[in-house]
Amino acid sequence: MLEYRIHTLEGALHNAREQGYEGAKFPWESAATGREVCPEEIYGAQEIHVSGDVLLAFEQYYHTTQDQKLFREDGGWRLVCAVAHLTFAADLARDLMFPVPEQWLRRAKSIKVPFDAGKKYHPEYDGYSPGEPVKQADVVLLGFPLMHPMSPAVRRNDLEVYEPVTEPHGPAMTWSMFAVGWLELKEVQRAQALLNKCFSHITEPFKIWVENSDGSGAVNFLTGMGGFLQAILFGYTGFRITRSSLRFDPALPDDIHELNVTGVSYLGNKLRFSITREAMGIEVTESPWDPPAPPLEAVLAGSGQRLPLHKGAVPPLGLLLQ
């Protein structure tokens, strides 16, 4: 998937030039060239978040693999520079021992994220008043997947402000993102009630997802499916990919007694996570020797205790893997 984006970078550069922008703009609907092929011009012009999605994928890949070859030799660095995810680009440049352009740092510091210091929440835009309706999950994405720094109180306020005013029959990915937020705050049953709303977007007889719960909108709506899967993989487990670690902080609803996640790749190792309400275990199922994968350890967030992870061993764990 990442190689496809590298191969279609020229098309993304063309898209940006066509709209008068610097850098690259990945298309809303893409094909072999990377140029915009969406039949409705308004979406191709206004759906600008795809470039950020692409860079987030590159960032998460790098944090979980430390694969510098993709960026040094295979075109990844040129793509990062073109899209200019400024903080990640600067961090990656330092890792690769490339100079960091001063303008990246200036632009990163000047990016505005609206915040109401009095009410301690993030307005959707300057001038937004709590209670105004919104179409879908948007501000709550600051918490996940963007992991924008904020306190648990602010995270809660964002969820509380937007949940009651979000279009109830809107796009299918919405409630899964609210569910991830409430699982993060250990409001498990509240999260489960929202996640259950996703099932109203599944149509018979072939279990096809539709964009809106009234049956309107896009059919075979992959965004809704992806949101639901993220709620399972990142909500129940609490997985968070960071620059220095793979964090986890599981939360299971009453009707789920055990969750097993297999095939998790981290720094060349393959991991299996086993989660119940009473305990959690991690097993290193594969650890290649050529080249050797770095050794892993689990760090318990509360005590700081460090537990080495070896292939085949399943120690009970806490909240942080690095």
Q: pLDDT by residue (tens digit) across 285-312?
A: 999 888 888 889 999 888 888 988 888 7
Average pLDDT along the chain:
92
Per-residue tokens: 282: 């991690």
C-alpha–C-alpha distance, residues 69 and 51, integer Å: 22
CB 59 within 8 A of CB 89: no
257-273 core/surface letters (b: 16 or more CB in 10 A; e: else): eebebeebebbbbbbbb
Distance, CA of 74 to chain centre: 24
- Work out the pLDDT band at 315, boundaries 50, 70, 90: low
* Phi, psi angle pair for 241, to nearest 5°: -90, 120
By mean pLDDT, which of 41-45, 82-86, 263-267 is the weakest? 82-86
Q: According to the model, what pLDDT value does residue 83 have?
A: 87
Residue 262: pLDDT band by 50, 70, 90 thresholds?
very high
**Is 51's pLDDT higher than 70?**
yes
Separation of alpha carbons 202 and 298, rounded Å: 39
- Give per-residue pLDDT as tens, 93-114: 999 999 988 888 888 888 899 9
Residue 319 has pLDDT above 60, yes or no: no
Closest to 220 measured CA to CA, from 200, 232, 233, 203: 203
In this prediction, residues 196-219 reach a mean pLDDT of 93
Question: With 60 as the cut, is the pLDDT of residue 316 above it?
Answer: no
21 and 45 Cβ atoms separated by less than 8 Å:
no
